[in-house]
Structure 1
């Protein structure tokens, strides 16, 4: 039986949470986790980084941010630098989430600059790529995700093996629609080939997460695919039982023999 690379289950709380709700959620996760075989992270709103850092201390849960500035410091009101995040023990930062691209006009170049800044501070960027429904229906999926990832590879080629990629079909985020395991695997395979071209054999160790409405019901099937190395979980990460079930599915997928 071969062990797969460590899967990663990362929760993205988006703009949700209260001090009381966060405490209940993190305590339930810590209590239900034990020693997971996979890596686990929660990406929380910036005001709660300190609280969650304290709640998750000495547990298997790594802390993540939902964004990071492309700038080191200065007159950038409302931004958080990688250095600031580092001070709170942040291990992961989501960059280029479709909601940032859509509502905040983030370009591929901006996403790439953010990834570079995270890497410079020892924070692993979770680089999101994905197509809209319109793009998928127009047959542009491959072209769009390759373009989005190419920008990050172009600027970070020397340390590309240190990133995490998340494929999030925009049409499957918060809509309840999920890519079929086959649809998701096809894109993950394409991204793996692109990474292989850039990083050679190191590409096999780069984790590619699926991030489009993965939940307790469909996680096992998605995580069984050869190129799906974990999940970037939205709504289900706010419910401890669901999130724990996805983590259990990831643990299970890691111990399953390769087909």
Structure 2
């Protein structure tokens, strides 16, 4: 009897285990399905958030692109305006230069016309609308200055290379000009106060003679060309100048 009972119990146990296993399997499948649903739900949420963020960034990029386009257009307009202004200024400058050139020509013509009928006194030579006189006498620099003054003139002031060239053949011997450094050694001045903007000294001149006892403070044409300094008491001819009358 006991063996029969054990067989019956074993039979029940065998038939009960598949049901239990089946229920466990179903429960496991339900849990897996819920997890999948939760995962899919979270994935949808993340996708939705990504789309929202992308939309915000896309809108921001559109705004930035629009701002850059506006800025570029403004800069282009300003550049074009600046170029137009520069072009106008260049045209005005060219016009002013042309007017200045024309006015300079007219001024020169007027000066020539104003002096056309004027003449130099007898014995004087006109060179480029200026009268020059080479003295017949000789004497010191101060004597030459006084003689020129008595004639309503002054010792010649050489203003530029053209005048120097014109005077180069005026005399074949030394002659005083209106240049000296009597006040301050080495500071040469024209007698009429004209700035010394042009010089035509001979090589190594002025040198003050190298004798501290005899100063060389007055300038002269050396054989009518380059300048040299000599003691003002030296006896030379001189050149006077004055405008024609």
> Quick check: TM above 0.5?
no
Q: Which category of TM-score, normalised to the shorter sequence, fits these structures?
A: under 0.3
Structure with more of its chain in helix, by fraction:
2
Greater relative CO (CA pairs within 8 A, separation 6+): 1
TM-score, length basis structure 2: 0.21
TM-score, length basis structure 1: 0.21
| The structure with more radius of gyration | 2
